[in-house]
Amino acid sequence: MRPIKTLNEFKERAQESFQSNKESLETSGVNHSTQLKAYLIESNRKGIGGIAGCPLGNWKALRDSRGWYTNEHDEYPYSFFLDASDGRIWKLYSFLDVKMSDLCVNDWVTQKKGLDYCWLSRDHLLHWKGQNCWEERGIGLRYADGLAPAEEAGNFSLKAWHGAGRHIDGLDELLEKAREAFAIYSIRWQKRIGSDINLSAEWYSNGKVTISKGEDVDEVLTMVTEMAARYKRSLIAATNLRDKTMGSFEIIFSQNIDLDAFSNKVIRGVGDMRLWLIEFESEPDFRRYKGVDLHNWDRVFLDVGTDYAYLTIPRKGCVNAAPRIATIQGEDNAGRTQIFFDGVELFA
């Protein structure tokens, strides 16, 4: 693999990958190059040095762009690229195979204090709805009932990619009902100029995007930066409301959850919610906890009912815990989930 030492060289490699896949799709119907992936990472760290770590190896600054880095690694150099020019929301790009890329990023995020995914609500995922040239081309819905015993768990998982036609009568009505009941975990968007597809990408609720087609790498980077900026605005709005009133975030579930199973997870500090809590009040339809958010070891207080939760994050604590809990509970246990603060919907 040739060295990549500047942002322009990174862009050239990305553009070559897009072009290679475009040609291979036209000739053989499959991609021959790995697709470019981007991950939005919420950071409570000051800079990337030292303990912040790297998914593979170590970071080295790109020569021509402040805040951009690539990884140094004996076996997989130049496989990750980090845009940390915004100190709060980092944009991480990868050319690795998706399984390896996801594994490396997940290990990095979950093992390094102060890092978290950007947990995208359905309104974030629907960001381009109604915008000129953008079309929604498919959706992924999920409800896993992850708190119930396996033999009793209800599960719903659907990926519906639609082309130019609708081949089943009533399909749109069914999808609309499912969207209201279950969590959206991915959406595929296409940007069309006339009859040409300029950009095709699938966004996931953990802040990941896979770009399957791109005519212009700068347009791709702009799309990722646009979503990062929107998420940062949501974080700032939620933090400001918390700081002004010291109230609680209200998380509303569309499906009931098993409170005993929920307790079993959080008191052991396991699972993607990254909460380690102590239960200090219990009723048949209510639990009250106190403990820490493993993202940054800040204190949190959580009241949970069968179809709601109240999350209190003391001042200086990271409010990213709210969309993390809402997204993971929504996908795994609670159907469509929304976040409110004093009646105002957040991360929307």
Measured CA to CA, the distance from residue 300 to residue 284 in angstroms comes to 22
The domain boundary, picked from 86, 117, 148, lies at: 117
Structural domain includes residue 130: no
| pLDDT at position 66 | 87
Range of lowest pLDDT (68-77, 133-142, 156-165): 156-165
The domain boundary, picked from 117, 139, 157, lies at: 117
Contact 307, 253 (CB under 8 A): yes
> pLDDT per residue over 183-226, tens digit each?
899 999 999 988 888 999 999 999 999 999 888 999 999 999 99
- Write the CA distances from 343 to 233, 321, 334, 335, 346, integer angstroms: 18, 19, 20, 20, 9
Structural domain includes residue 150: no
Tell me what percent of the residues of the chain surpass a pLDDT of 70: 90
Residue 192 in tokens:
């069309």
Structural domain includes residue 211: no
- Mean pLDDT rounded to a whole number for the chain: 87
The domain total for the chain is 2
Tell me: pLDDT of 237 over 90: yes
Structural domain includes residue 65: yes
The domain boundary, picked from 99, 117, 135, lies at: 117
Range of lowest pLDDT (13-27, 78-92, 150-164): 150-164
Structural domain includes residue 339: yes
- The domain containing residue 303 runs over which residues? 245-346
* CA-based nearest residue to 42, from 122, 105, 94, 126: 105
Tell me: pLDDT of 266 over 90: no
Q: Which amino acid is at 183?
A: A
- Provide the 3-class DSSP secondary structure of residue 344: strand
| pLDDT at position 313 | 94
Residues 6+ apart with CB under 8 A from 284: none
The alpha-helical segments, DSSP class H, found in the chain are: 7-28, 98-111, 122-125, 171-181, 217-245, 259-266, 321-329
Q: How confident is the model at residue 147 (pLDDT cuts 50, 70, 90)?
A: low
CATH of the domain at 319: 3.30.160
10 Å CB burial of residue 188 (0-12, 13-18, 19+) is buried
More confident residue, 22 or 262: 262
